[in-house]
Structure 1
Amino acid sequence: MYIGIDVGTSTVKAAAFDAEGRELKVAARPVRLGMRGGTVEQDMDEVFGAVVAVLEEVSGEAVELAGLTGQGDGVWLLDRDGRPVRSAVSWMDGRAAELVDRWLADGTFETVFRRTGSAMFPGCPGPLLAWLDSHDPKSLDAATAAVYCKDMVFQRLTGAPRATTDVSDASMPFLDPRTRAYDNRVVELLGLTHRRGLLAPVSDPVATGEARGEGLPAGTRLSNGPYDLAACALGSGVTAPGDGLLIVGTCLASLVATTDLDLTGEPAGLYISTDRPGHWLRAMPAMVGTAALDWVLSTTRIAHDEVDALLADTPPGANGVHVLPYFAPSGERAPFVEPRLRAELTGVSLESTPADLVRATCEGIGYAARHCLEAAGLTGSLAVCGGGTRSPAWMRLLADVLGRPLRVMEGEVGARGAVLAAAERYGVALDTGAWTRSTAVVEPNPGRAAYYAKGYDDHLARLDAARARARG
């Protein structure tokens, strides 16, 4: 048995696989997000308790090894014993938007991107640490490490004497992708030199340890990383330059494998360092994916299992209803950074139906994905994974909007990638072709693809106008 643990933003999952990559069992637990006035926080003890609970459901006596992945960014402050200093600040948090605005205006933002390939956004560690340094210095004083979600879980599962992270999580915003080490000039530019000691040491390759017996059998071999975006790329077999992955989850993440580190152009997204030096994932992780549809469904009191029928009940173009799906409190970060951007719903009349609202939202998310994938440099095949893949109608719509075939990866792809990373780290031979085999290929309809190509141009025009309004 091989176990992958994926500590997501709203759901914690563990999946058990056999040696051929077949899922044996999956367990999931929801975790709460505390949202108030643009702040988004999570209770670390609740998150860890959910990890232990799902592991107890799927673990057996003969666990060969386990791999860990989880949500990225945010700030998870730990003391010297690996215990929480305060609630974790989520990557969805918007409190540092004014700092990002200031750095955009004075050139700091662009300078950081040119050095690291990371376009900062309010919920990434740089702005959040700077905000905490000004508004909650006592928490930073009490902490010995500012880590990422999976790093906290790894330390508590293994009892490691100190917190560490890996190159994938460290990629935003302090890591130099060429040296794979922290860029102290970036730390200085963000006013954090006196907090430099909080940055967790980077384990390259990823850290390993043995489980202490919580959730996993004592002595189980466990590896820490990569974080969820890179783990999903591994689990989808996206490693050849030019191939891409679209993750239709809470975050709408577009990734393209590359060996070309290009720090020119409009600063946006990031370069995620991988376990292979000289290989990166050009990532355009838009802030909101399925979360946008979830909001529409909850607001209209429509159940998730009604989505496919509703998509069939209204034509392409949603009878004139349009959605710009930028629902995050911290604005947007890919393929551009606009902290003040908000969602827009237009073209609604008394004749508009719930089906129109649902289709317009799904189309808007598709247009945002196309924008991100083009900016990331997609030239090869495209895999798709995440909760959105459970809707066949949405997958057909996405293939049409993107105008290309989709290689659908169902199941727990992040957990699968975590296992493959652990196997590589421990020298355990697994058939990666079998582990990353797609479950279906969805082809676009030529007529609808042509229609959506024009719709995409309209989307970009609406977006330009919305960005201008956001800037005041």
Structure 2
Amino acid sequence: MYIGIDVGTSTVKAAAFAPTGHELAVAARPVTLTLHAGFVEQDMQEVYDAVVAVLDEVTARIPEPVELAGLTGQGDGVWLVDAQGRPVRPAASWMDGRAHELVDRWLADGTFEAVFRRTGSAMFPGCPGPLLAWLDTHEPKALDEAAAAVYCKDMVFHRLTGAGPRTDVSDASMPFLDPRTRTYDNRVVELLGLTHRRGLLAPVSDPVATADALGEGLPPGTRVANGPYDLPACALGAGVTTPGDGLLIVGTCLASLVATTDLDLTGEPAGLYINTDRPGHWLRAMPAMVGTAALDWVLSTTGVHHDEVDALLAETPPGANGVRVLPYFAPSGERAPFVEPRLRAELTGVSLESTKADLIRATCEGIGFAARHCLEAAGLTGTLAVCGGGTRSPAWMRLLADVLGRPLRVMEGEVGARGAVLAAAERYGQALDAEEWTRPTAVIEPDAARAAYYAEEYEEHLTRLSQARERVRA
């Protein structure tokens, strides 16, 4: 049995796999996000306890011995830990918006662009650079007490194995890592005013770190590999490794990834280059801030349950009877394929004749347009896989194929956990059939007429977005 652990933003999961890649069992636990006035935080102990709980459940349900475990999880944010991996303060989430004024300042004075030209990372308020700088000003005592500023999965790895604070090249990609040398760029640390905090940056393991489990959640001595984080793990789990091929993750975050061997640090600073386990190979990532979270908000506001979405999408035609949604719901604005910390969602074309179905379809269409924008900016030229919670809605997947105008290789199940296992197997020299492990569960073809309609609507979406950005900057 192989186990993949995926420490998500709102849900922690563990999945057990057979050597063939067949998913044997999944256990999940929700974890809490605390939101207040732009602050988005998580209780690290709650997150770790959820990891132990799902591991206990999976290992109890499947009697086979655990060959190895791979770990992945949400990226960005700041997870301050002491020397034992215990929390110093609540984790600041990647969704956090408290540092937006710093990002605004760095956008204005050229720091933002200077960092991108060196690292390929377009900073946003919830990434470690701005958050560490904010904490250095407002909560210096927390930084004084911390042994390391790690990422989510790193905290879990530390606690499960006692291996000490460390991260991998994928998590470290934003915003301090030089993608050519795969080491921290001290000039970037200096540009962000954090030279005196340089010692908090966790050592980078390249290749990913390995250690034996201490016995909490996993049997003592179980081999564990730390990384990559959830975006590149999903790319591995979906078989997206050939340059030009892409992955769309329709999850809490709407992430668009394209495999590439071309490191281009010119053009509009946006998104990031994620370092992979193969030097000279990157994922050009455009992780938009909000994916299913936008639809969740609309469903909650309208009193609609998730299991009603497919039926409601069938009740209203493409174009949602004139209702339009710009789906930028995150408190910290947007980060891909552009950075606009103050951008907010817009709902237009609503009248007394509009229905819940119109609102839901317009939201799904708006998310699709945002995905198309990101994929085009990331340089998609090959096949496209799709995974995440959104794949549970067949109607939404058909809508997405039409909006994107291309076939979708649908990857169901725990794709991130699957990728974590494949990464761990590679690190430990275990021969797994990656092609078999990453076979799609379905391929959805777009409807030609609807795709042509949405191509025109996409251009209108870009116009509305441009106008919205101009209003924010005015």
TM-score, normalization by structure 1: 0.99
What amino acid does structure 2 have at the position aligned with 1:98?
E
What amino acid does structure 1 have at the position aligned with 2:216?
E
Whether contact under 8 Å (1:247, 1:385) holds in the other structure is yes
Q: Give CA-to-partner distance per residue, 1:278-335, whole Å, 9 cap, x none.
A: 0000000000000000000000010000000000000000000000000000000000
Equivalent residues in 2 for 1:73-112, closer than 5 Å: 73-112=76-115
2:322 paired residue number: 320
Matched, 1:46 2:49: no
2:466 paired residue number: 464
What amino acid does structure 1 have at the position aligned with 2:333?
G
Q: 2:132 aligns with which of 129, 135, 138?
A: 129
Distance 2:67 2:84 in 1: 28
Equivalent residues in 2 for 1:149-188, closer than 5 Å: 149-160=152-163, 162-188=164-190
TM-align CA RMSD: 0.5
What amino acid does structure 2 have at the position aligned with 1:459?
H
Matched, 1:273 2:275: yes
Partner SS state of residue 296, structure 1: helix
What amino acid does structure 2 have at the position aligned with 1:353?
T
What amino acid does structure 1 have at the position aligned with 2:214?
R
Distance 1:8 1:81 in 2: 22
Number of residue pairs aligned between Structure 1 and Structure 2? 471
Unmatched segments (≥5 aa) in structure 2: none
Partner SS state of residue 254, structure 1: strand
Whether contact under 8 Å (1:61, 1:217) holds in the other structure is no
Distance 1:212 1:454 in 2: 57
Partner SS state of residue 35, structure 1: strand
Distance 1:303 1:252 in 2: 21
CA drift at 1:42? 0.1
Distance 2:439 2:218 in 1: 27
Partner SS state of residue 353, structure 2: coil
CA drift at 1:469? 1.1
Distance 1:384 1:143 in 2: 38
Distance 1:208 1:458 in 2: 49
Whether contact under 8 Å (1:145, 1:200) holds in the other structure is yes
What amino acid does structure 1 have at the position aligned with 2:132?
L
CA drift at 1:61? 4.9
1:28 paired residue number: 28
CA drift at 1:470? 1.2
Q: 1:232 aligns with which of 214, 227, 234?
A: 234
Distance 2:202 2:170 in 1: 13
Matched, 1:15 2:22: no
Matched, 1:66 2:62: no
Distance 1:64 1:381 in 2: 32
Q: Higher mean Cα deviation, 340-349 or 59-68?
A: 59-68
Matched, 1:354 2:351: no
1:141 paired residue number: 144
Q: Give CA-to-partner distance per residue, 1:116-138, whole Å, 9 cap, x none.
A: 00000000000000000000000
Distance 2:447 2:152 in 1: 40
What amino acid does structure 2 have at the position aligned with 1:91?
W
CA drift at 1:80? 1.2
Equivalent residues in 2 for 1:300-319, closer than 5 Å: 300-319=302-321
Distance 2:239 2:186 in 1: 34
Matched, 1:442 2:444: yes
2:367 paired residue number: 365
Distance 1:337 1:208 in 2: 35
Distance 1:19 1:189 in 2: 47
Identity among equivalent positions (%) equals: 85
Distance 1:83 1:363 in 2: 42
Distance 1:215 1:302 in 2: 37
Whether contact under 8 Å (2:235, 2:241) holds in the other structure is yes
Matched, 1:57 2:60: no
Distance 1:213 1:308 in 2: 43
Matched, 1:291 2:293: yes
Q: Give CA-to-partner distance per residue, 1:130-156, whole Å, 9 cap, x none.
A: 000000000000001000000000000
Whether contact under 8 Å (1:244, 1:378) holds in the other structure is yes
Distance 2:358 2:57 in 1: 40
1:340 paired residue number: 342
What amino acid does structure 2 have at the position aligned with 1:22?
H
Q: Give CA-to-partner distance per residue, 1:378-414, whole Å, 9 cap, x none.
A: 0000000000000000000000000000000000000
Distance 1:433 1:458 in 2: 39
2:387 paired residue number: 385
Whether contact under 8 Å (2:84, 2:159) holds in the other structure is no
What amino acid does structure 2 have at the position aligned with 1:118?
S
Q: Give CA-to-partner distance per residue, 1:10-56, whole Å, 9 cap, x none.
A: 00000000000000000000000000000000000000000000001
Unmatched segments (≥5 aa) in structure 1: none
Distance 1:433 1:145 in 2: 38
Distance 2:325 2:220 in 1: 50
2:218 paired residue number: 216
Whether contact under 8 Å (2:80, 2:149) holds in the other structure is yes
1:37 paired residue number: 37
What amino acid does structure 1 have at the position aligned with 2:203?
P
Q: 1:421 aligns with which of 420, 423, 439?
A: 423
